[in-house]
Chains A and B, each alone.
Chain A
Amino acid sequence: MNLLTIDPQAIDWARAQFALTAIYHWLFVPLTLGLAVIMGIMETCYYRTGRQFWRTAARFWQRLFGINFAMGVATGLILEFEFGTNWSNYSWFVGDIFGAPLAIEGIVAFFMESTFVAVMYFGWDKVSKGFHLASTWLTGLGATISAWWILVANAWMQNPVGCEFNPDTVRNEMVSFLDVALSPFAVDKFCHTITSAWIIGAVFVVGVSAWYLLKKREEVRELALESMKIGAIVGLCASVLAAITGDESAYRVAKVQPMKLAAMEALYNGGEDVSLTGIAAVNPFRQPDYENEQEAPLRIAVPNGLSILATRTLHGYVPGVNDILNGYTRPDGTVEPSAEEKMERGRMAISALAAYRKAKTEGNEAEAAAQVKVLQDNFKYFGYGYIKDISELVPYIPINFWAFRVMVGFGCLFILFFAIICYMVWKKQGIYAPLHIQEKFTGWKAKGMHWLLILAIILIPCAYIASESGWLVAEFGRQPWTIQDMLPVGASVSDISSGAVATTFFIFLFLFTAMLCVEINIMLKQIKKGPEL
């Protein structure tokens, strides 16, 4: 039975809506994750020392946490249901695997978060110190476990494992839960994402503290300095870990998503001894002519760098966009088929599925057995059967290329920045020098301290830009696939008109933007007011 024709524009609006809601969600969640650690440390200090100062500090950051938390919850609700509302075909085709992490996220993580956040906010004078401290950490733990499961789900989209296609039920079905839950791709993604969230929490705390110092708010000087110390230590550890886990993640991308890596690097033609692009003049406003250009113009690169990072060998083979499209032979002799061949085999798999189902209906077991063999032999390329033109297989290179560089560039800057602050803390220099010494700072020393504090504030939006850039790489680099190699976006959507999706897109845009503006203003007022002393 043929249903209503799918509106092609509905695909792009569905992608836009998911991108919008995910980007907004990721504005709030990292601060929740990052601040949770810092609040937990401060309240632990209060619990251990009994000093009222630490209670004041913890309650101050919890206040800001609370303002932000509500937005994370609000934007997250949509995402939970959006797989169904806008991506219903995807939800059916892979729901047997994909649904489980989402359900576990709710049962194990969300309830923990929502139960103990109420104790954390309202329970200061209602429950014991120990129970309150436990609630603070459990709120953060709940948020972190939630991140684990949703990242398991996202990692599975990038590298679908632990499943098999069932032609009788016409869907993919889970065969190994551990392969899904503990896939190396998921582990790396989780570690990298969590540490990036801790960076945001740290940058936020350091930036807000820097503002108090710049404004010479003497009544909160101690709180600012102590918060900055904790923030810088957490930030430095998180930044270094993010770099290490980022390298691991990229290594895995090279293995299972070579086209994404090629897009990240604007690598049109690969080979052995491939250099790592530092910068190049990739036009941000149009897809480059990768078929005809040898490489991106004005390219500055590190020799052999990409071979080392992608293959962990000096001369490793790294395929470029054209290699992946035209097919290539790996160093071990195995052949990666061309895109045309994959598309042909994908069409064979889809036809075999139709023929199998027809044969089963007619009771023709011999024909059914023959067709299921064709299906199994070609199922690896099933998703390619929906692709109409090989150009669809190339993600939008400029976004991947520039977003990756923005993320890595800021990541390096954060390491340097936090290292400087930590050095000052250790050596009791700069802003951590005794006041009577700071008062004697002149010239470049005084200016340097001043600009360091300004930089701390500027880095707050930079951290968000870096974090969102990472997600742009992850998700734009995956295109055209909702599930890598298995199901493209065009075969994943719901049967809804583009007008309906466009309408809800703009409703969400208006709602979330309005709520964001209110939140930022409330945050700024709260920061200006300062803690309750």
Chain B
Amino acid sequence: MTYEFLQQYWWFLISLLGALLVFLMFVQGGNTLIYTLGVNETEQRMLLNSTGRKWEITFTTLVTFGGAFFASFPLFYSTSFGGAYWLWMLILFTFVVQAVSYEFQHKRGNLVGARPFQWCLILNGIFGPLLIGGAVATFFEGSNFIVSKMNLTDGMQPVISSWANASHGLDALLCPWVLVLGFAVVFLTRILGLLYFMNNVDDENIRSRISVRLVGQTIPFLILFVAYVVHLMLKDGYAYDPATGIISVVPMKYLDNLLELWPLAILLVVGVILVLYGIIRTIISKTYIKGIWPVGIGTVITVLVLLLLAGWNNTAYYPSTADLQSSLTIQNSSSSEFTLRTMFYVSLLIPFVLGYIVYAWRAMDKKKITPEEVQQDEHLY
């Protein structure tokens, strides 16, 4: 295994984690719909307990995404988190309040009542995907930072990376295309949430409403997603010369990547088809409730391809709009060969981890959530 292979491998794993995170944000999407999809308390409790059994997996994936990025690409971790401070803090605030909103909401002794926690779930449901989608968009649109490692030798100002304006990440939200991708992710997570409810909640009233609501979420998602993909294929990208380390702007770099890495193009098409198949079949069929699986798998594949396009094929995955040569690439931001190799061996545990997650998921979701269950079991949320 060469150093280069390990770097590409770890970008693949990071991209996969990111893709899984987007899929698992069906929890967030579903949470934005609980209080409109469910028309009475029983229905709302069913929906709450449906996502409530999965929120920790999403949370853990977010945490592991951060930890894995730290271990494999520490310069990204330090530059982005330390620079885009407010963007990441907003993401973290929404997830922090989500964590307790399930457990505390209906418990006796809840000092603030259920409503604030319900709002926390909704806010996390909207802003979590929006901001994470926006953060991912900055991989393509660029961010305003400068890296200078030799600052370490300046005893007065030793910090090696800085944001080049005072907004510390909020400036990303002024870029329209960042918002386009962010809102595309919001609608996607709502679609995934609806499909998860369809599969997990055994209630005909809720299921019939889901079929209708799906249309309303799919149309804006498709518009935003197609617009972003077209924009991405036509925009300039940032190429890296592995021999000299020089980073340059290249027209239609991401389209170039897609054509050079043509298996990814095939995967992208497969992913999109799966997403469309799952949504359309759910809308038109009165009995099909497994749409979450083709749409979920399609989502993972599609997001995986987009993230791979961001970093593979000598592309700067975190371009700097303040100083082009400060842009981050897989090559210049990764951990050492020793660390990546060590972590490679750790990554061999991932199939085992996925295996037991699937096993536990199936064991728990075999019995769907019913109105009787939420009315009788006091241990539920």
Binding site for B on A (CB under 8 A): 1-6, 59, 63, 66-67, 69-71, 73-78, 80-81, 83-93, 95-100, 102-108, 110-119, 121-127, 131, 135, 166, 169-171, 173-175, 177, 347, 350-351, 353-354, 357, 385-386, 490-491, 493-497, 500, 504, 507, 511, 514-515, 517-519, 521-526, 529, 532
Contact = CB atoms under 8 A, between A and B. Distances in A.
B246 interface: no
Contact of A111 (B146, B152, B357, B366): B357
B93 A99 contact: no
Nearest to A5: B157
A515 B112 CA distance: 10
B77 A110 contact: no
A520 to B, nearest CB: 9
A169 B95 CA distance: 34
Contact of B160 (A92, A97, A117, A523): A92
A74 B88 contact: no
A55 B143 CA distance: 55
A98 B342 CA distance: 13
Interface residues of B, number: 87
Q: Report whether over half of chain A's contact residues are helix, strand or loop; otherwise say mixed.
A: helix
A109 B324 CA distance: 39
27 contacts: A3-B146, A6-B157, A6-B159, A67-B103, A74-B99, A77-B92, A80-B66, A85-B82, A88-B161, A95-B77, A95-B335, A103-B68, A106-B67, A110-B60, A114-B60, A118-B57, A126-B366, A131-B363, A173-B338, A347-B155, A353-B153, A491-B158, A494-B78, A500-B168, A514-B112, A519-B104, A522-B109
Given A70-B99, A70-B103, A108-B349, A91 B338 contact: no
Given A67-B107, A114-B57, A166-B336, A80 B63 contact: yes
Contacts of B336: 96, 166, 169, 173-174
Contact of B86 (A97, A500, A523): A500
Interface in B303-343: 335-336, 338-339, 342-343
B238 to A, nearest CB: 20
Given A66-B103, A119-B364, A173-B335, 7 more contacts: A78-B92, A83-B81, A89-B82, A90-B78, A95-B70, A103-B64, A495-B162
Contact of B77 (A84, A106, A511): A84
A75 B157 CA distance: 31
Contacts of B56: 73, 113-114, 117-118
B70 A102 contact: yes
B26 interface: no
Most buried by A among B75, B159, B161: B159
A333 to B, nearest CB: 33
Contact of B71 (A99, A517, A526): A99
Contacts of A169: 149, 336
Nearest to B149: A170
Contacts of A106: 60, 63-64, 66-68
Nearest to A108: B349
A96 B83 CA distance: 19
A75 B59 CA distance: 12
Contact of B60 (A92, A111, A519): A111
B74 A91 contact: yes
Contact of A81 (B66, B102, B335, B379): B66
A118 B146 CA distance: 43
A74 B63 contact: no
Contact of A107 (B68, B107, B166): B68
A494 B82 contact: yes
B347 interface: yes
Nearest to A100: B71
A163 to B, nearest CB: 10
Given A77-B95, A91-B81, A532-B378, A110 B364 contact: no
Contacts of B107: 67, 522, 525-526
Contacts of B66: 80-81, 84, 106
Contacts of B204: none
B342 A100 contact: yes
A175 to B, nearest CB: 6
B39 interface: no
A100 B344 CA distance: 11
A113 B59 CA distance: 12
A92 B75 contact: yes
A504 B93 CA distance: 10
B156 interface: yes
Contact of A89 (B54, B158, B335): B158
A106 B343 CA distance: 12
A201 to B, nearest CB: 19
B148 interface: yes
A103 to B, nearest CB: 4
Nearest to A522: B109
A174 B364 contact: no
Contact of B62 (A77, A84, A107, A119): A77
A494 B360 CA distance: 40
Contact of B100 (A100, A113, A519): A519
Nearest to B380: A122
The 5 closest A-B pairs by CB, nearest first: A88-B82, A84-B81, A95-B74, A106-B64, A525-B109
A187 B108 CA distance: 41
Contact of B364 (A107, A126, A526): A126
B267 interface: no
Most buried by A among B54, B80, B338: B338
B110 A110 contact: no
Nearest to B155: A386
A90 B158 CA distance: 11
B1 interface: no
B109 A107 contact: no
Contacts of B360: 115-116, 118-119, 135
Given A85-B81, A99-B71, A3 B151 contact: yes
Interface in B108-160: 108-112, 146, 148-160
A170 B161 CA distance: 13
A160 to B, nearest CB: 15
B132 to A, nearest CB: 13
B201 to A, nearest CB: 14
